[in-house]
Amino acid sequence: MQMQHTHVCAAIDIGSNTIRVVVARCKPTDLDILATDEAMVRISESVNIDGKISPEKRDQTIAILHKFKALAEEYNAHPILAVATEAIRRATNKDEFLASIRDQTGLVVHIIEGDAEAMLTFYGATYELANESGVPTRIAVMDLGGGSMELILAKNLRVTWHTTIAIGSGWIHDRYLLTDPPTAEDVATAQAFLKTYIQGLHIKRFPPLLIATGGSANSLLLLAQRAFGLPTEHKVLTRDDLIRCEGLLYALPTKDIAQRYQLEPKRVRILRAGVLIICALLERFKLNELRISPQGIREGVLLAYAHSGERWLQAAQQSTMDVAVAHDSKTTIEPVVTDIPETFAQAGQRTIWERVQKMHNWHDEVLKNEDIEAVHKMRVASRRLRAALDAYKPICNPKAFKKVYRSVKKTADVLGEARDTDVMIANLQARLTNMPEEEAQAGIRWLQDRLSSYRQQQQKILESHLQNFDEDALKQQLADCFTEERKHHGKG
Amino acid sequence: MAKAKPIPQLDIHASNYKNACIIIKTRLEEMYSWDACVNDSNHVQDLHNLRIAAKRLRYTLELFETTHLEENASLRKEVEQIQEELGALHDSDVMIALLQLSLSSQDSEMSNEDAQSPTLQELTREKIAFHPALLSCILDPAVAPSAQERQGLNLLVTYLQREREEQYTAFHDHWSRLKEQDFQGQVLRMLDT
């Protein structure tokens, strides 16, 4: 049932890299956008490591959703629809994650499958084309996300084929591009992987127009506008523009690019992967340019709601089934293990990076001071990180390595002091049942009391240390020490 | 605590596997370098160093767990057990030292400042080093233990010393069994195949 009148609604998209909101006055075929906002959380970072959304990422997401809900309420938007995609689909603790969001924000988040994601993205990225002349009969839409990529083909603005490719810009970054800037060797490995991978896409005749949506595509356009003076109304990137963006992104460190072109450092790192993926696709399908759309899945959700009301999600799912039945169209391409063997240096970068993330995942839980196991888990993670640093020390620049090692050791020491005290207190507690003598009970309680007093002091030290612990600064130091050493070895 | 040995002969452009074997061998040698101390239960610091070396070996085996998957898992289990046995022993050593320090300082009416003096810290460092803030909490004269509490602390020391003997025996038996089985040789053979 189509909505008869325009209506202000909001849609939130919890993606693998970014969370976005759009508030708009909605009609089934058009939107009058009133407000948009976005924040980069990189949920996929923790999911890529152990399959779970970390407490830190959960809390960041909830804080952002509160903010976006308030923005929607400023415009009296109703309903506020929320969807989540690849990283959340893959997370083993997604139910718990969605329950926390529901409890703390009142928002019901729908996890949508790749098929529905493709369909909604297509609606959002192409609805404006209906008012344009000269649009080719056949078009393609690519939504490059952090955890996956949707590729959709359409004829006369009706989807005829789509595929979900289980690699995204975050995925490529976390595996191949961890140095800052990445070395020529890393770039070559990532390009070789992408080339092999994208060869697996068999499309007889690729449409002449490719529309790209998603954070990486839009940020590349922004970078090209700011760095090379492309007019802001210009929404097309040529292969030459992309090659220039690639040159810039791989020539300078993240902080320089971020400062010069007012981009978030996290976004700059991901963009390096984004530009490689887009270039690989253009090369594979012999295209010279692509058009960028700022709209995507969120706008698609609003259009679907305006068209089908409460049944918007079922309608989108039904559309994907209709396409599949008609054309046997749906394919999912999973990432394959590349034949290119990982060198010691590459394995070291990946492992250390993952372990820093894993240690940091416990940061907020330790600060909450609700469960002594959080201190234990973070300490174990810090030990594993130190073991990786010891093993992979030769791939690092010695001076930069010292800085990183000192920082990790300090964290491990502070955690260790707190954890050792927790263990002593717990052991004494167990003794209370084994030693019933009155004197023993009195002595044990005295010692427990003293240790508890010391533990409280340690908690303050731990909190002060962790509050000042800058994860991004540590990652930057790591990136520096990898890069410098690789250059030193003549491969930079 | 003994520092991890640097490993100079690694080639960062070689495969992860090739380097993993070199690192595991080094950490294994490091663990066995403490072998001479295992027959004396009073070598508190050296047993602690052995525990740290075992922990490093365990984490290194974990780090390269895709190398020799099945054998790696069973060998790692043995190292993990050694580490846990030595961990329990170390926890007892820490607690006993803390109790003895607390009782001896109270006996001699030692002040908090005295307890943190270089002489006493030196004495304690020989076995276990404590954080100065922990010493302050334990030795604060304002909250000194009563006679009954002191009796209880003495009982606890006796209990823990007995328990420590059992822990040491369990560890020693396990270590000896592994030596009989030529555990070190097993790991080296796994890496050479």
Q: Do residues B154 and A444 make contact, with C-beta atoms less than 8 angstroms apart? A: no
Q: Is the pLDDT of residue A3 over 70?
A: no
Cβ–Cβ of B154/A443 closer than 8 Å? yes
Question: A412: closest CA among A356, A453, A352?
Answer: A356
Cβ–Cβ of B148/A442 closer than 8 Å? yes
Distance from CA of A457 to the nearest CA of B (A): 8
Residues of B with CB under 8 A from a CB of A: 4, 6-8, 10-16, 18-19, 23, 55-56, 59-60, 62-63, 91, 94-95, 98-99, 102, 131, 133-134, 137-138, 140, 143, 145-146, 148-156, 159
**B151 neighbourhood in chain A, CB within 8 Å:** 439, 442-443
What angle is formed at CA A181 by the lines to CA A176 and CA A182, rounded to 5 degrees? 25
- Retrieve residue A242's tokens: 């992309």
For an interface test with A, which of B63, B65, B136, B146 has the most A Cβ atoms less than 10 Å from its Cβ?
Answer: B63
- pTM of this structure: 0.65
> For the packed helices A398-434 and A372-391, what is the interaxial angle rounded to 10 degrees?
140
Q: Do residues A11 and A81 make contact, with C-beta atoms less than 8 angstroms apart? A: yes
Question: A275: closest CA among A162, A185, A191?
Answer: A191
What ipTM was assigned to the predicted interfaces of this complex? 0.83
Q: Name the E strands within A219-282.
A: 236-238
Chains A and B: how many Cβ contacts under 8 Å? 124
- Predicted confidence (pLDDT) per residue in A451-462, tens digit: 999 999 999 999
Dmax of chain A from CA atoms? 93
Question: A408: closest CA among A456, A349, A360?
Answer: A360
Strand order in the sheet with A80-84: A30-40, A18-27, A7-14, A80-84, A109-111
Rounded Cα distance between A250 and A377, Å, is 36
SS3 for A336-392, per residue? CCCCCCCEHHHHHHHHHHHHHHHHHCCHHHHHHCCCHHHHHHHHHHHHHHHHHHHHC
Residues 6+ apart with CB under 8 A from B70: none
Question: A137: closest CA among A235, A214, A205, A217?
Answer: A205
Show pLDDT as tens, one digit a residue, over chain B (193 residues). Answer: 677 777 877 887 788 888 888 899 999 999 999 999 999 998 898 999 999 999 999 988 888 876 665 677 888 899 999 999 999 999 999 999 999 888 876 554 444 554 444 434 444 444 677 888 998 888 888 888 988 999 999 999 999 999 999 999 999 999 999 999 999 999 898 888 7
